[in-house]
Amino acid sequence: MIDEYISGFGSSALAEFAGRMPWELTRGSVGIVERLLGGLRDGYVTAGGIAVHLTSTIENGAVVKGPAIIGPDCVIAAGAYVRGGCWLEADCILGPGAELKSSFLFRGSRLAHFNFVGDSLLGCGVNLEAGSIIANYRNERTNPTISFFHKGRRLETGAEKFGALVGDRTRIGANAVIAPGAILAPATIVARLSLIDQGTGVG
The one-digit pLDDT tens for each residue of the chain (203 residues) are 999 999 999 999 999 999 999 999 999 999 999 999 999 989 999 999 999 999 999 999 999 999 999 999 999 999 999 999 999 999 999 999 999 999 999 999 999 999 999 999 999 999 999 999 999 999 998 999 999 998 889 999 999 999 999 999 999 999 999 999 999 999 999 999 999 999 876 54
Cα–Cα dist 30/22, whole Å? 14
Amino acid at 107: R
Q: Does domain 2-200 have CATH number 3.40.50.1370?
A: no
CA–CA distance, 167 with 75 (Å, rounded to integer): 22
Give the Å distances, CA to CA, from 17 to 26, 29, 89, 175.
11, 11, 15, 32
Query: Closest by alpha carbon to 188, among 115, 98, 127, 105?
Result: 127
pLDDT at residue 79 in the model: 98
